Structure 1
Amino acid sequence: MHVTRHEQTFVLTVRGEVDYDDAEDFDAAWEAADKAALPVTAVDLSQVTFADSMLLNALLQARIRHQAAGRDLVLLGPLRPAIHRLLAISGTIQLFTISDVGVGDAGPGPGGDGANDAP
């Protein structure tokens, strides 16, 4: 897991398999995002090969935190099939803005409606 800052976007890049052992890292990342208080937090999931309910819970908790603070949370892809399936089967995929664009374009932007760009 890697955290960077690009202009007005806090970027969390996640790679490989994500499970319960990563929960503390996600908690620390959300704390850092809250502290930075940038308008957008982008979570790059394009390199995640496996995830369980821990990732789903972490993303849902982040969504709640970001909404409460008036900030955007964007998932960056393209999502691998296992991650897309996790969000789809759980019925939560529609709760997230998912974009297959680069970090510089992570937010919905002017006229953006936060529509789900995932396949």
Structure 2
Amino acid sequence: MHPAPDLSERIDRRAQVFVLTVRGEVDYDDAGDFERAWEAADRAGMPVTAVDLAGVTFADSMLLNALVRARHRHRADGRTLVLVGPLPAAVSRLLEISGTAELFTVTDVRPGSTGTGGG
């Protein structure tokens, strides 16, 4: 068993973005935490949810499933899901091997920043 990942949520009202920041190792044991995070995003009702994955050190198919399900939920509600990187190798590899990389918009621009890169 690994330490639970650090999931933090915030709302950037100026940018109309719900931001979920994920750090650490993510696996099957963390599915409930992600479900609660998606429910919080749904309640916030922001047009965009940005999932900052730059701090993920390990990810398995649970993260992939959570992202695909969240994308489906967002599209059904007319909202946008964006992945914020740079994506670590573990996440990039998961998206590439599964053939789902093209489903997601990926950016290195942090919500609320004015330039490229971190902010």
The TM-score, its normalising length taken from structure 1, stands at 0.86
Give the alignment partner of residue 17 of structure 1, picking from 25, 41, 44. Answer: 25
Query: Which residue identity is paired with 1:68?
Result: A
Identity level (%) = 67
Alpha-carbon distance in 1 for matches of 2:69, 2:83: 14
Alpha-carbon distance in 1 for matches of 2:44, 2:64: 23
Q: Indicate the RMSD between aligned Cα atoms, in angstroms.
A: 0.8
Q: Which runs of 4+ in 1 moved over 4 A?
A: none
Query: Which residue identity is paired with 1:94?
Result: E
Alpha-carbon distance in 2 for matches of 1:52, 1:37: 28
Shift of 1:33: 0.5
1:2 aligns to 2:11 (yes or no): no
Q: Which residue in the other structure is 2:73 paired with?
A: 65
Flag structure 1 segments of 5+ consecutive residues without an equivalent: 106-119
Residue aligned with 2:112, SS: helix
1:92 aligns to 2:92 (yes or no): no
Q: Which residue in the other structure is 1:117 paired with?
A: none
Flag structure 2 segments of 5+ consecutive residues without an equivalent: 1-6, 114-119
* 1:22-61 → structure 2 map (5 Å cutoff): 22-61=30-69
Q: Which residue in the other structure is 2:90 paired with?
A: 82
Alpha-carbon distance in 2 for matches of 1:61, 1:44: 17
What is the number of residues matched between the two proteins?
A: 105
The TM-score, its normalising length taken from structure 2, stands at 0.86
Alpha-carbon distance in 1 for matches of 2:24, 2:75: 27
Query: Which residue identity is paired with 1:82?
Result: A
Shift of 1:21: 1.1
